[in-house]
A and B are shown apart, each in its own frame.
Chain A
């Protein structure tokens, strides 16, 4: 694994416009950054990142079984009691999931270690699946990367396959995100709608606020037609605490992601995984913050994360010497986990985190985001990667 500085394509902004990639720059700061790329060997990808992703996915499925069987853990994960049966039914009914992104600490040496699993509303999808693919093709065509340069990235074809597999049970799909002009959210949903369409599903879009509930307690769209299936780029933990949550158990709507995914996206899962598989090479030691065992991490460096945190908000990093860095934010009311400190490697002051994508439960691609410090925030830059042996 190396970070290689390189010239940007002179026309990359035009290329972005061609494919509808509008959020490459946010708040004046570059988000898409091709002034460098990360170079990996095939062995690093296959033996380390891909293998670790598959391994951890298996651990997570075991953890879901375990959590659903233990009321104590559902309490720990702050899952509202009235909705527990409904969540369990989505798991025992084998409702298929679509996608997720595991964030790993990886520096090219030793096993990747799981920071967290964004299993419910992962973003960074379009840039990983499409725009970095296009970057590699352009760079090869221009002779600036060797012809045999490759990329860990079958994300798009796997998405279309996954939607095609879902099509018989959800021939019509509504997709939703929150209104208010968040270009990244709207762009991600537009991309998934495109993939669903290619998978043979009839699609429609609406904002979360526009979702209706009819007299029978069924969710419906702006034409008052029933929503049979809904892709929501909107976190389950927010939905569960909003007024329409009472209609969830009685609704016939199928959801992507299915409700059981909220057990995995919850940061409390990190503590559950460590309790079940202590010492696993792909895991970092982690505990619920109010667990007496959390004291084991108090002396050394650790990260404290809110159960429902997003974009690095409310994370506190405590170094071994006791100095700490705090990211501000609105989260943390439901509790925290503490995780052994494993700061990303620094490549000339750039701190990359590997985002390993799963579609239909299988690893199929990767995106690298780097920040100027050890906490990967919403300001992180997406940097393309190539496999060059």
Chain B
């Protein structure tokens, strides 16, 4: 990450002494906007022409590989469909549901539902034609319902809105570079259990 920050020539902190506002500070370079694209599939990416055919294929494949780990999670199919649209959801394979929850198997009671991957985000660091292509899976929202906020757009699995429709986008660098193990999908049970106690199942601790 620091490598990509190196081209920065501006200050990391800006003080506006007379306006009564707090100093504006960059928390790092993660907030910096970078150009990217949001596409429904590799074909649409290739047709757009912004990225090479090979880049589009790589990005799409990588996003598919990340899909199961990053997709929003729901305990009920109807909740998933309410958020992502009719017939837009599938069941998360049980072994993935268990491993993602610290080894406990809350999924045993009927499965966890996730939306199909609706597209992918593709990007490359500005000014670095040789830099690796980065990508993430994207998920669609159900059409807007009254009072439910903007609908129909594309989101990452942890809830960042990327675009209203496919095409060129501008995203925060951190969204593009988030590694899969740092992404906590929407709806994933946040409490993990079972990480203590394994040494002592066989024995009393008396001493």
Contact = CB atoms under 8 A, between A and B. Distances in A.
A178 B201 contact: yes
Contacts of B199: 235, 238, 241-242
A180 B200 CA distance: 9
Given A212-B191, A215-B184, A184 B197 contact: no
A155 B197 CA distance: 28
Nearest to B204: A182
A360 to B, nearest CB: 20
B158 to A, nearest CB: 11
B205 A244 contact: no
A209 B197 contact: yes
A234 interface: yes
Contact of A215 (B190, B196, B198): B190
Chain B contact surface mostly: loop
A243 B103 CA distance: 11
B207 A211 contact: no
Nearest to A235: B205
Contact of B207 (A122, A178, A214): A122
B204 A378 contact: yes
Interface in B163-207: 184, 190-207
A310 B195 CA distance: 22
Contacts of B184: 215
Contact of A242 (B193, B195, B204, B205): B195
A180 B199 CA distance: 12
A311 interface: yes
A207 to B, nearest CB: 7
A172 B102 CA distance: 27
Nearest to B205: A121
9 contacts: A178-B201, A209-B196, A212-B192, A235-B205, A242-B195, A242-B197, A242-B198, A310-B203, A310-B206
Interface of B: 102, 184, 190-207
Given A179-B201, A180-B201, 4 more contacts: A213-B195, A235-B205, A243-B195, A265-B207
